[in-house]
Amino acid sequence: MSHTTEITIESVLSAARRLARSFSEGAQEADRLARLPAENFRALHDEGLLSLVISRERGGLGGGLEHAVDAVSTVAQGEPATALILAMHYIQHGQIAFEDGFWPQDVAVKLIESSLASGALVNAAYVDSGKGSLSHGALPETVGRRQDGQWSLSGHKKYVTGAEALSWIRVSGVTDEPEPRVGYFLVPADAPGVRIERTWDTLGMRATSSQDVIFDKVSLPLSYFFGARPVGSERQHGPLDAVWYLTLVAAVYHGVAQAAHAAFIDFTTGFVPGALGEPLASLPRFQDALGEIEALQRNSRRLLWSLGRDYDEWIKRDPGQIEARLNADAETARLLVLRNAAQVTGLTLELAGNHGLSRRHDFERYHRDALAARAHSPNPSLLKASLTRHALRSQGKSLRVSGKGSTR
């Protein structure tokens, strides 16, 4: 974007639509090679998308969750791995923009300044090699030890999305203090002792570079440990993490389904079998499928955009009530949008026949990407357990509900 052109939220969201079309040209190859499309993030930075949810006071555009949903789902229509990494970046900066004291000021300033200046990306690393996701209540195996007035961090994290593109990693860990605390260490990705192991080889979302990251006695300032709570306490995340995380992960896969939807319309209106003499879309069963897909996608869009708007309204009026009011809605959106995406992409794959199964077309890739959504924690069982607890509490009922851990 030209420096003489004023960058606004509207112009950035317009740029996202243009970039999505450009990104789509390399999406198939990135998937085939399981290659992180690093050039996409330079373009996102140049067009101002990486600063979308950074506050205006800090030099960003001051966008909210609704704008982030729009940007992420749009980019996902072109190249979903890029969109997932962008979503993770927004989740961290969305928390920082709230400025509730969870992120220390010096840490927040470093993240913001590097993002604005050079497009530095940030994501979290929560999954320990030996224990899995913290959403099941596990204590991190990554340990920070005090040495010579600094932290020395060691551990092995898995599934660090965007690992090869990140400048900063928010790492869950536990201290070795007499009274241990659980919290987060902010780690520069290029710090001595940080090593990436290229382990990512999966069915879908192959270009996300969700590699293992090893931390071997990484030295960090004491101020780079934050959000600390005594071991055994309930909260182990920022107060607004859950809504951003659940909503934006869902937005990625909504974008995948949107791409499949558009491709299916093009296919059914453009392909004329010789025996039929008319486009496939003239057949009742294809029209029925198109109507079903439209209903599913409208349902997903309404859930995501209304959730974003509600969040942006409540963060101004009564931020202390966001978790109570919106967490259950975010869990619902996550559960249903991902289910809808798998159904949409599965239906387009089935009805496209041989075209759907051919790697020369994108239907099979869209479906693989939608199925890959199941790997994100929390799993549907945890989400439904949490929603069950919400339902019982709303009726004043008390009952033990199976399902351990939090939804973030």
pLDDT tens track for 298-322: 999 999 999 999 999 998 888 877 8
Query: Does residue 268 contact residue 274 with C-beta atoms inside 8 Å?
Result: no
pLDDT at position 3 is: 47
Encode pLDDT of 321-375 as tens digits.
Answer: 787 789 999 999 999 999 999 999 999 999 999 888 988 899 999 999 999 999 9
Kindly report the pTM of this predicted structure: 0.94
**Level-2 CATH architecture, domain 125-230:** Beta Barrel (2.40)
Who's near 36: CB < 8 A, 6+ residues apart? 30, 81, 162, 164, 165, 207, 208, 209
Encode pLDDT of 128-187 as tens digits.
Answer: 987 766 655 678 999 999 999 999 999 999 999 999 999 999 999 999 999 999 999 999
Across the strands, what pairs with 169?
A: 123, 187
Pairing label, strands 143-147, 168-175: parallel
Q: Just give the CATH number of 241-394.
A: 1.20.140.10
pLDDT at position 239 is: 58
What mean pLDDT is predicted for residues 257-283? 94
Give the CB-side neighbour count of residue 68, counting CA atoms within 13 A.
35
3-state helix, strand, coil in the chain (%, to 5): 55, 15, 30
pLDDT at position 390 is: 84
Neighbours of 318 (CB within 10 A): 11
Query: Which run of H or E residues covers position 221?
Result: strand 211-221
Query: Does residue 86 contact residue 72 with C-beta atoms inside 8 Å?
Result: yes
pLDDT at position 347 is: 97
Domain 9-121 grouped into CATH 1.10.540.10 = yes
Name the DSSP letter for residue 240. Answer: T
Looking up tokens 């840490």 gives 107
Does 24 or 399 have the greater pLDDT score?
A: 24
Across the strands, what pairs with 154?
A: 143
pLDDT at position 134 is: 64
Domain boundaries, the chain: 9-121, 125-230, 241-394
Residues of the chain with pLDDT > 90, as a percent, come to: 78
Encode pLDDT of 196-212 as tens digits.
Answer: 999 999 999 999 999 99
